[in-house]
Structure 1
Amino acid sequence: MTAVRDVFSPAALGPITLRNRVIKAATFEASTPNALVTDDLITYHRLPAAGGVGMTTVAYLAVAPGGRTEGNQIYWRSEAMAGLRRLTDAIHAEGAKISAQIGHAGPVANARSNRATAYAPVRFFNPLSMRFAKRATREDILDITEAHAQAARMAIEAGFDAVEVHLGHNYFASSFLSPLINRRDDEFGGSLANRAKVARGTVLAVRRAVEKADSPIAVTAKLNMSDGVRGGISTEEALQTAKWLEEDGGLDAIELTAGSSLVNPMYLFRGDAPIKQFANAFKPPLRWGIRMTGTKFLREYPYRDAYLLRDARLFRAELSLPLILLGGITNRETMDLAMAEGFDFVAMGRALLAEPDLLHRIQADSSVKSLCTHCNQCMATIYSHTHCVVTGSPSVVSSGG
C-alpha cells in the first residue's frame, strides 16, 4: 500500500519544491489602489508565509488592462515589475514560495472602472459594471492567449516560483467552456472540444513560454468542476477538459474549484450569504438592486468541512496529474483527509485570512480549530481592503509604492 503523505512534508511541484503541501489560495487582496504593489499587499502575503504556508498565491494579476475585474487590480506591465520583485523577495525571505495567478476576467471584467473593452464568447451584459462585454474575435482570442504567455515571462523576471492560469469562475477561458455563456457557432463554440480550445491553447502558450526560460517555474491552473448553475459547466464536461489538459502536458497541477463569479459565487464560498454587507459595498441604484434580488445572486449553501471533496474525488480517480484540493480545509483533520484521498496539496483561503499563523498553531497542536466562522462577510471587503471581520486580519499598514 502507498503510504499516506504527510501534509507538512516537503513536496515537488513541477520544477520547484515546497516546504509543505499547503498553499495559500488566491483571494483578491484589494491592496493595490494604483494597480501597483503596496506595502499592504506585501503584508497580506508575508503574514501567511511567515505563518508556515508552502506557497502563497497572488490574486489577481491580469494579463491585460481590460482583463481586470476592477480598475485597481494589477496588470502586467513594466511599471509594476519593481514592486512585484519586492513582493517575491519578501515572501522568499520567509522561506515560502510565491505563485502569480494570471488570467483575463472576460465577461467578469469591469469595463467601466477599467476604461477598457471587456471580452466574452458572445456579447454579454455585466450587471456590476453596467457595461456590455464585446464578442471576442479570433484575433482577440489569440491576443489574450499571447498575453498569458507574456505574463508568464514577466512572472519569471519578477521572481515568482509558479503561475496559476485562471480557468475558472466564468472568467475568459471558463466562459468559453460554459455552454450557458458560449453560444457561438464557430470553431470556439458548440462541442466541448471547440469550447475547450481557449483553455487548452492558453495553458500550452504559457507552458511554451516557461520552457524557454533559463529558470523554469511551475505551471498550475484553477479549473471549475462545476458552475453550480443549470446549463453551465457540468462535472462531466469539466472532467473531460481536465483529461485533455493532462494529455496536453502543460500543467504541473490543477487546483479544483467551483462556482461562477457572474451568477453563483456562493457555490464556492459555502456558509452565510452576506447580502446586506455585499450591497453596502456598492452605490445606489446597484445597492438597492442587490438588496432586492441578492438571494438569487448570493444563494446560500450550508458549510461543511472539505465541501468540494465529493466532486474532487471523481477527478482524483481519473487523473494522474497532481491535484490541489480547495474548499473547507481548515484543520489538521481535513488536511489529513485530503492526503488520504490521494490529493497532492491543499489550498486554504478564508481560514488563513482569519489567522495567517494557523498552520503554526496546527503543527503545535493538531486539535486546533480555525477561528473562521464562515460568515463570508470578508467577501464584501474585497471592494475596500480584504480582511476578516472576525479577527481583523491581515494587519493593515500604510500603502507604499
Structure 2
Amino acid sequence: MFPKLFSPIRLKGLELKNRIILPAMGTKFTTDSSMTDQLIDFHVARTKGGTGLNIMECTGVHAPSTPGRFFSIAEDKYIPGFKRFNQAIHEAGGKTCIQLWQGSIAVASDPKAMIIVASDMQLSPEYTVPGASHELIAELTECFGQAARRSVESGFDCIEVHMAHNYILHSFLSGGINRRTDEYGGSLENRARFPLAVIRAIRAQMPEDMPLLMRIDAHDDYLEGGLTIEEVIQFCKWAKDAGVDVLDISRGNIISAALKYEVPPIDLQWGFNIENAARIRQETGMLTIGVGRINDPAFAEEILESDKVDMVVIGRGQIADPEFCNKAREGRVDEIVRCVGCNQGCYDANERADIPFISCLQNPACGHEAEYAIVSTDAPKTVLIAGGGMAGMELASILKQRGHNPILFEKSNTLGGQFILAGLAPRKAEMKAAAIHRGQQLQKMGVDVRLNTALTPAVIEEIKPDIVVNAAGAMPIKLKVPGAELANVYSYPEILQGERIPDGHVVVIGGGLVGLETAEYLLHNGCKITVIEMLDTIGADLGSTRKIIVMENLYGAGVDMLTSTKCVEIKPEGVVVEHEGKTEILPCDAVAVAVGAQSTSLPELEECCHRLGIEYHCIGDALKPRRAIDATAEAAKLAHAV
C-alpha cells in the first residue's frame, strides 16, 4: 500500500528506502550529553519498524553552551558513542542523520550552560545577556565545522543544521530577534552572514556526495519584524549555493505563542504547514521535507502524490507506534496505534523537571524499549480487569500479547472511558476516535471483553482468577455548597455528552483543563461565559502548547476568567463567591460544575480478593485522578510484572 510513500528517494549520494523521516525529537535520554543505550534502543525500534531516515535529536556543537540533558558532539570524546549509535541503526537496516545545534536561550534549562544570543537581551532589570561578540561568532562557526567533522567520523549518513525555533542561527537570521547594528544585523544579507558561514564550515568537512539538510521555519509567527516566507525563500537559495541539499520546513519559536507550531497539539489541523513547504519547494527547486501533524499514512500519501513535498516527517506517530511504517506498508493500517497530539509524554516531558524522559500516552514502552519488550509468559494467569478505559485497555492488551488471559469488564456499552468524554470537547475528536479504535483493536486481538457488565464479588468467586485489577477510573466531584442541586446547575459530563445544555450567561466553576474545555464547548453553543478558579492560575494542568490555543480562543471570545475565586453558594440568580476577602454574587442564568474527579473505589472487590487470597491491584484514576498518561504507564508496568 501507499506506493509513493514507500518509494525510494536519493539525497545526493544517499538512497533512502522510503520517504518517511523520523525527525529530531528531544528525549532527555541523557544526563551528561553522552550516548546512552536508551537512545539507541529507541531508534533501533523505529528502524526495525521501517522508517526511512533516523535524525538524531538536536546535538550541541559548543561545549560550554550544551545542557546536560542534550546530547553533544562538541568534543572528540563523544565520537565512540555515536559510532555505537550508527552501527546499531545500520545493522538494523536504517540510515542516520545528526542535527547540529546551538540552543541560544533554550539552554537556560541548565543553569550551568552558557546562554548565547544574537543581540543584547534583557532578562531582568539587573541583568542583560550581551549579544555574541565577533570572536564568539567565529568560535561558533568553527564549532559547527568541527562537529560536522566528528559526525562524518562517527559514521552518520547525512547531517542536518538547525536553523529554526529561536536557536542561535534562527536568532541571527530573524529580524524579529536580531537587533544588531553591525555587519551581522539589519538587512537580510547581514543577518544571513553568520548562518551562511556556518553552512560553509559544515559543508567543508563533509564528503561531496554526503547530503546536508537544513531545518528552517517557513516564516516567523507572532514576531514583529520576523522572517517572511519571501525572506526564507531567498535565504534557502543562498543556502543551496553554500552547500545545503535538502530543506526540512518547520515553524514556530519558543518566545511567543508560536510555540504551538513547534510540537503542534491536537488542536491544530493535519498538515497545517504543508502549503508553506510546497511554495518554498517550488520557488527554490530543492528537495523538501514536509512537517506538521502528519500521523496518517493515507494523508501522507496524498501529500506526496499531489507533489507538494518530497518526503514527510512522521515523528510522534512513530513514538506512539514504532511499527507505524511496517504496518502501513503491509496494509495493516487498522493495527496502527494512533498519536492523538496530546503532547503529554513527548513535548511536556521537555518542559517538566518531574518527568525524567519522554514517553507516550498511547505507548508507555517509549523510553523502555528494552525492559518492555513483549516476553511470552510460561505461567499464564487469568486477570480480571474492572474498567475499560485507557488503563484497562492498555493492561489487557499487553497481558494478551504476553499469553495471559485478561477478561475486561466494562459496565457501560463502550470502551474508552474518560477518553471518550474528552473527545467531545472542541477540536478533540481524534481522542474519541483513538479510544474507540483501541477498543476495536483489543477485541480483534481476542481479548474477552464484557460490555454492559460490572465486575462483582460473585463473578470473582465464580471465575477464581489469579489477579483482579481495579481500573475503573474516576467520577466527577460533586460540588458541596448550598444550592448545588438547583435545576440551573449542570455537570460537565452531561454538557459534553449533550444530555443537558444550558444557555444564556453561564458561570463555569473550575478553571482547569475540564473547566476550560467545557467553557469552549458552551461558547460554541452561543453562551456567554465566566470561569472561576480557586487557584491563582487558570489552566494549571494544561501543557503549554495546548494551553496557548485554549487560552487564545477563550480570550478572543471575551470569556471572563477569575482566579483565587471560591464558590460558596449557588442561587437561582447567580453564584456567590469569595475573592480577596470579599463576598459577592456573580449573576448568571446557569452554572457548570467542572471541579475535577475522584477515584472510583471498589472496596467490595478488594475485600473479596483479600478473603479469597487473590492478588489485587488498583491503577490509573481509580488509584488517584491524574493525567491519562499516568494511567497507561501504570497499566504497562503492571502488565510486564505479571
Range class of TM-score, shorter chain:
0.7 to 0.9
The total of aligned residue pairs comes to 359
Q: 2:245: which partner in 1?
A: 252
Q: 2:6: which partner in 1?
A: 8
- Distance of 2:123 and 2:318 partners within structure 1: 31
Pairwise CA distance, 1:269 = 2.3
From the superposition, tell whether residues 98 and 188 of structure 1 become closer, same or farther in structure 2 (CA, over 3 Å).
same
Does residue 319 of structure 2 align to residue 353 of structure 1? yes
Secondary structure of 2:220's counterpart equals coil
The sequence identity of aligned pairs, in percent, is: 27
Q: 2:196: which partner in 1?
A: 200
- Distance of 1:336 and 1:155 partners within structure 2: 32
Pairwise CA distance, 1:54 = 1.0
From the superposition, tell whether residues 234 and 67 of structure 1 become closer, same or farther in structure 2 (CA, over 3 Å).
farther
How do 1:149-160 residues align onto structure 2 when only pairs under 5 Å count? Answer: 149-160=145-156
How do 1:151-170 residues align onto structure 2 when only pairs under 5 Å count? Answer: 151-170=147-166
From the superposition, tell whether residues 30 and 304 of structure 1 become closer, same or farther in structure 2 (CA, over 3 Å).
same
Secondary structure of 2:249's counterpart equals strand
Q: 1:286: which partner in 2?
A: none
Pairwise CA distance, 1:249 = 4.3
How do 1:1-400 residues align onto structure 2 when only pairs under 5 Å count? Answer: 6-68=4-66, 70-76=67-73, 77-110=75-108, 113=110, 115-125=112-122, 133-211=129-207, 217-231=210-224, 232-246=226-240, 248-263=241-256, 264-272=258-266, 302-339=267-304, 340-365=306-331, 367-368=333-334, 371-377=338-344, 378-382=346-350, 384-396=356-368
**What is the alpha-carbon root mean square deviation over aligned residues?**
2.3
Secondary structure of 1:88's counterpart equals helix
AA in 2 matched with 1:113: D
From the superposition, tell whether residues 66 and 106 of structure 1 become closer, same or farther in structure 2 (CA, over 3 Å).
farther
- Distance of 2:369 and 2:93 partners within structure 1: 22
- Distance of 1:376 and 1:223 partners within structure 2: 22
Question: Could you state the TM-score of these two structures normalised by the residue count of structure 1?
Answer: 0.84
From the superposition, tell whether residues 149 and 71 of structure 1 become closer, same or farther in structure 2 (CA, over 3 Å).
same
Moved more, 41-50 or 340-349: 340-349
AA in 1 matched with 2:118: P
Moved more, 320-329 or 101-110: 101-110
From the superposition, tell whether residues 86 and 125 of structure 1 become closer, same or farther in structure 2 (CA, over 3 Å).
farther
Residue pair 2:172, 2:192 contacting (<8 A) in 1 also: yes
Pairwise CA distance, 1:81 = 1.6
- Bigger fraction of residues in strand: 2
Residue pair 1:67, 1:104 contacting (<8 A) in 2 also: yes
Residue pair 1:107, 1:124 contacting (<8 A) in 2 also: no
AA in 2 matched with 1:372: C
Pairwise CA distance, 1:271 = 2.2
Per-residue Cα deviation, 1:71-113 (whole angstroms, up to 9, x for no partner): 2222222222211111110100111101100011123222x72
Residue pair 2:42, 2:369 contacting (<8 A) in 1 also: no
- Distance of 1:109 and 1:153 partners within structure 2: 23
Pairwise CA distance, 1:224 = 0.8
Pairwise CA distance, 1:227 = 2.6
Q: 2:430: which partner in 1?
A: none
From the superposition, tell whether residues 336 and 71 of structure 1 become closer, same or farther in structure 2 (CA, over 3 Å).
same
Larger Rg: 2
From the superposition, tell whether residues 80 and 9 of structure 1 become closer, same or farther in structure 2 (CA, over 3 Å).
same
Pairwise CA distance, 1:119 = 1.2
Secondary structure of 1:256's counterpart equals strand
- Distance of 1:131 and 1:254 partners within structure 2: 37
- Distance of 1:29 and 1:395 partners within structure 2: 8
Residue pair 2:221, 2:252 contacting (<8 A) in 1 also: yes
Per-residue Cα deviation, 1:107-155 (whole angstroms, up to 9, x for no partner): 3222x7262422111122569xx98543101121111111111111101
Per-residue Cα deviation, 1:293-313 (whole angstroms, up to 9, x for no partner): xxxxxxxxx322211112122
From the superposition, tell whether residues 96 and 314 of structure 1 become closer, same or farther in structure 2 (CA, over 3 Å).
same
Moved more, 136-145 or 374-383: 374-383
Residue pair 1:124, 1:132 contacting (<8 A) in 2 also: yes
- Distance of 1:151 and 1:5 partners within structure 2: 37
- Distance of 2:40 and 2:291 partners within structure 1: 23
Question: Could you state the TM-score of these two structures normalised by the residue count of structure 2?
Answer: 0.53
Secondary structure of 1:150's counterpart equals helix
From the superposition, tell whether residues 237 and 34 of structure 1 become closer, same or farther in structure 2 (CA, over 3 Å).
same
Moved more, 202-211 or 334-343: 334-343
Per-residue Cα deviation, 1:257-296 (whole angstroms, up to 9, x for no partner): 0000232321232225xxxxxxxxxxxxxxxxxxxxxxxx
Q: 2:429: which partner in 1?
A: none
AA in 1 matched with 2:160: E
Pairwise CA distance, 1:333 = 1.9
Residue pair 2:337, 2:362 contacting (<8 A) in 1 also: no
- Distance of 1:66 and 1:179 partners within structure 2: 26
Residue pair 1:108, 1:262 contacting (<8 A) in 2 also: no
- Distance of 1:25 and 1:252 partners within structure 2: 17
From the superposition, tell whether residues 142 and 373 of structure 1 become closer, same or farther in structure 2 (CA, over 3 Å).
same
AA in 1 matched with 2:349: T
Secondary structure of 1:135's counterpart equals coil
Residue pair 1:67, 1:103 contacting (<8 A) in 2 also: no
Residue pair 2:358, 2:367 contacting (<8 A) in 1 also: no
Q: 1:287: which partner in 2?
A: none
Residue pair 1:141, 1:198 contacting (<8 A) in 2 also: yes
From the superposition, tell whether residues 241 and 381 of structure 1 become closer, same or farther in structure 2 (CA, over 3 Å).
same
Secondary structure of 1:209's counterpart equals coil
- Distance of 1:237 and 1:371 partners within structure 2: 36
AA in 1 matched with 2:246: A
Pairwise CA distance, 1:24 = 0.4
Secondary structure of 1:254's counterpart equals strand
- Distance of 1:152 and 1:108 partners within structure 2: 22
Per-residue Cα deviation, 1:169-217 (whole angstroms, up to 9, x for no partner): 01001001121211111101001111111221111111111147xxx53
Q: 1:281: which partner in 2?
A: none
AA in 1 matched with 2:342: C
Gaps of 5+ in 1: 273-301
Pairwise CA distance, 1:240 = 1.8
- Distance of 2:146 and 2:365 partners within structure 1: 34
- Distance of 2:332 and 2:275 partners within structure 1: 24
